[in-house]
Each structure stands twice: as C-alpha cells, then as structure tokens.
A = this chain, B = another copy of it.
Amino acid sequence: MVKIAVMGHGVVGSGVVEVLMKNHEGIERRAKEEIQVKYILDLRDFPDLPYADKFVKDVNIILNDPEVEIVVECMGGVNPAFDFCMNSLKAGKSVVTSNKELVAARGQELLEVAKAKNLNFLFEASVGGGIPIIRPLAQCMAANEIDAVAGILNGTTNFILTKMITENMPFDEALQLAQNLGYAEKNPTADVDGHDACRKICILASLVLGKHVYPNDVYVEGIRNITLEDVRYADKFNAAIKLIGLFKVMPDGKLLINVAPRFVSKTSPLAGVSDVFNAICVIGDATDEVMFYGKGAGKLPTASAVVADVIDCVKHRVARKYLYWAPAEEGMIADYHDEPCSMYLRLCGKSSDELKNIANELCRECIFTEGINPDEIAIITDVATYAEQENIAKKFLARGVNVISAMRTLSR
C-alpha cells in the first residue's frame, strides 16, 4: 500500500481523486500495489464529500507524515506550489504535478533536488493534458536527434480561431463565446496573449535541449490582432491560422523558440486540429514527423495523466525515472530575428497593379493572391530571416504601401 497526498481540490485535484476511486481495481493491478489518498490539502471545506475526513489545511501535516510517499500538486500558480513541492522532495517524497506554470518557472530546481535525493518529479499533465507527450518525447529522443517541435498547445485560442475560420465569427465574439462556455477565463490574457502556450513549449524545449528554457526569454505573440480578413487570406493560400508554439535547434546549436500565430498549410496535420484540441508535432532525424493529438485540458483527461505519473512513481520507487535538465546557460537562445521564415503580408494603399509591381521589386520571389477588397493584395514572401522580413515591411511603408497585417508561415 502506497499513501499519497493531493494538494489542491480544484478541477484537476478533484479529478485525480475521482479517477483513483473510479478505476481503483485496474490501477491497483497495474501499479501492483494499492494506492490510497491519505490527505487532501485545501483551504476550503467539503463537508458533503464521502472523503471529507481526508481534508487538511496545514501542509506540515503532509510534510511531517513519513507514511506519505508521493505528493500530487494540483494547486496551480508558482507560489506556494513551489515551496510545497520543494519541501515535499526535501522530506523524501516524490512529487507529481500538473502545474505548467511551476514547471516552466522553476522546474530545474525541483528536478535538481529530485535527482540528488533519488526521487521522482513527474509532470506529464503539465503539457497537453491527457495527451501522453513528455514520455513519448523522451522516448523519441532516445534514438533520434529532435530537430523541431511545433504544437497547438492552447485549447482556448484554438477554439477561438476555429470559430473565426469555420463560422466567420469575429475575434471578440468568439472570445465571448469561449468565456460563456467556460473555455476561457474572465481575464483571458494567459490564453489569448500566448503565455500559456509559451509555458508549455518551454517545458518541451527544456526536456529536448537538456537545459532550462525560461518563458521570459521567449518571444511571444498572441491572437488578439487577427482579423477575419486574415483568416480569409489564409484560406486563399490553402492554409489555416493557428497559434503555434515552436522550437528548432539552429545550425549553431542555439535554440530558436517562440509562440506566434502562423499560416499553417492545409497539407500539415496541424491545420486540421480544431476546437479545443491540442496537437504536438515532433520532427526527429529518424522518425520524421510524429504527431500527438487529443484534448489538451479538462478535468478527467488531465487527471488521468497525473494518475499515470503516480502509478509510474509507485513502480519506480527504486529505479528512478530519468527526467532531468540542467540550469539555463547564457546565450543559448537564438535571437528571434534570426528565424528563417516566409511571411504573409496584407498590403493596400495603392491600386492592386501598383501593389504587385512594388512587391515584385522589393521581394525576390513571392506568391500573390487577389485582394478580398479593392486596391488590396496579399502576398507570401520568400524565405528570409525575420529581420530581413521586417526590413521588407519597412520598405513597403517607405513606398507608400500600407502593411495591414503580417504573419509568419510554419515551414519545415
């Protein structure tokens, strides 16, 4: 019998207790031991729950109880989650968390202590909810050099973009709908401005690179400025707009990493990922492109990923699972201006013939499409660094051309 404590009885924490109770038999068979929730830490009272007697309000009860071998942290936020996890590890307990903010901000310190104390610190649920990605990525990495990862990592923004694409719904209305359906928070900044996706791509990058990648070092663009016209132009270029978290290892070994809306060609499986679904494409030198797809959030999918980690802790009490990355290093992140990319540009301010002529002059090679309004065109520029693309945009302005929108494309 293994005794565990669950910290936080919100959506995920209560889901963990539910999955552990509902699938009790199967879990016991697979873990080869009974798993019992001894404590649930929450400041609120839940007197009507059948397991009301397990609730405690003082974290020290858990930390000081040597019977508790595994702590499951589902509180969210960096503080006090970090202290609680760190103190659990220092007290000799393995830790499982679903908290992407914590792992992205301070995962390295926790992994370091877990390693030193020969304990597990697992966080499968922190990226992609119920989609197994941390472990398959570690497995892919075993025999492959990972060249790039590109993912739709935030369900809320993907829901909004899907509504814009399939129902021609403007951004504000789609955001409102997402809020009404409970997909978006009242303050939607973390989702809509790309910070949530950024934390997740940082976790995946840290794992692949073997060094901690901090969200603050990553260039992030959200989806607030995307218009229905952009969505229509994407369609004309046989693409769909998706918020993509991306990293690539550059030829000089630096990590190119960013979060931005991009034109994704409909020939890519990522373009077909709609609604609140998430998907992560991993490109390895031997596997080529492998994609993992599923619900990136939600009570039970996320809880099941947490429970799978708990089972893994139980099965690996002696032989620690190898999951680790080193501290960040100065200069390891490439300047985002160095990314080689094509750009979508929506141009107006002259007749469409004049616009085409100027585009032909300023860009080596570009693809045109007719404007959806008179005296307007859209182009996809040839591949160049983002810095060069910004230069081209400036040249358009100098020639009296108005660049209404600009967006990167996703390329291999």
A residues contacting B by CB (< 8 A) are 19, 22-23, 26-27, 30-31, 124, 130-132, 135-136, 139-145, 269, 272-273, 277, 284-295, 298, 300-301, 303-308, 310-312, 315-316, 318-319, 322
Contacts and interface: CB of A to CB of B under 8 A. Distances in A.
A135 B136 CA distance: 8
Q: Which 5 A-B pairs have the closest CB atoms?
A: A286-B304, A143-B307, A290-B294, A130-B287, A291-B293
A104 to B, nearest CB: 22
Nearest to A135: B139
B272 A301 contact: no
A308 B130 contact: no
Nearest to A321: B315
B319 A301 contact: no
Count copies of this chain in the complex. Answer: 2
A125 to B, nearest CB: 10
A272 B316 CA distance: 38
Given A293-B291, A294-B290, A295-B288, A136 B132 contact: yes
Given A136-B135, A290-B293, A304 B318 contact: no
Contacts of A293: 269, 290-293
Max chain B C-beta neighbours (<10 A), residue from A144, A286, A292, A304: A286
A31 B300 CA distance: 34
Contact of A23 (B143, B294, B322): B143
A188 to B, nearest CB: 24
A144 B322 CA distance: 23
B143 A132 contact: no
A315 B304 contact: no
Max chain B C-beta neighbours (<10 A), residue from A30, A139, A272, A306: A139
A288 B308 contact: no
Nearest to A31: B142
A13 to B, nearest CB: 15
A290 B143 contact: no
A295 B289 contact: yes
A319 B131 CA distance: 26
Contacts of A304: 140, 143-144, 284, 286-287
